[in-house]
Amino acid sequence: MIRSDSHKFIFLRVPKNASSSLAQWLIMNYTDKDDIYTEVNDGGIPHRGVDFVRKYSKDSHFIHMKLQELYDEGVVHKGHLKDYETIAVIRNPLERQLSLFFFLSRLHGYQPTVEKFRKDFSSGCHMEDTNNQILQTDYTTVNGVDYGTWWVYENIENHIRQFQSKHGKAKSILGKLKAGITPLDKINEFYDDKTKRAVYEYYQKDFNLYEALKGG
């Protein structure tokens, strides 16, 4: 997460939605010494901030905390909710699950076979990955109210241009995202009807928001 008081925005790192690349770019260009953010391991950026950061720095979920959790911890206040833009990225859940699957296969050293994918995601989410059990749409709510300004994964370049027109041109460009757009043939290869239905049912709210926004 990032809380930039200098530019009045909050960035929530939804897992497998280009959160590392975007966090690194935002920190390098739109934060100063008094702003708060969690570390970006891929970019070699250590965390910075208040006791909250030190308290949770060894918790893997900490990097991907929801707005509600930040609010409950006092890192985000009512004034931030009112005056700051809360940014998060939403991605097609079918793509997102495949991205997680390939990431976990590299992390744990197993073959990313179709059979294993369908077994691991038979319930829609990955039952051993607690971050994956959280809906994308749950990241931007506080006490049931949605404060999110959503960036659609496929349209990140457009969102970046709009962000720069508001906050000033960045000193550096956004690097290539680690995960590109998943080809349709790859989705068709790994998903059967049963697995696709399970993902649709589990992430119905995410699909609804994604479909509503992706044309914008």
CA torsion through residues 76, 78, 83, 86, sign: positive
Q: How many domains does the chain have?
A: 1
Interval 65-90: pLDDT, tens: 999 999 998 889 999 999 999 999 99
Interval 132-191: pLDDT, tens: 999 999 999 999 999 999 999 999 999 999 999 999 999 888 866 655 566 678 899 999
CATH number for the domain harbouring residue 123? 3.40.50
> What pTM was estimated for this model as a whole?
0.91
Helix axes 193-202, 93-108, angle to 10 degrees: 110
CA 16 to centroid of chain Cα atoms: 6
At residue 38, does pLDDT exceed 70? yes
Helix, strand, or coil here: 95?
Answer: helix
Interval 49-65: pLDDT, tens: 656 666 665 555 678 89
**Residue 167 · residue 101 · CB < 8 Å:** no
- State both tokens at 42: 């891929």
**Residue 57 · residue 102 · CB < 8 Å:** no
Provide the residue range defining the domain that includes 93.
2-213
The residue type of 157 is E
At residue 128, does pLDDT exceed 60? yes
| Percent share of the chain, pLDDT over 90 | 69
Question: In this structure, which long-range contacts are made by residues 68-76, counting pairs with CB atoms below 8 Å and at least 24 apart in sequence?
Answer: 68/138, 68/141, 68/142, 68/143, 70/1, 70/3, 70/10, 71/142, 75/1, 75/3, 75/36, 75/49, 75/50, 76/3, 76/10, 76/142
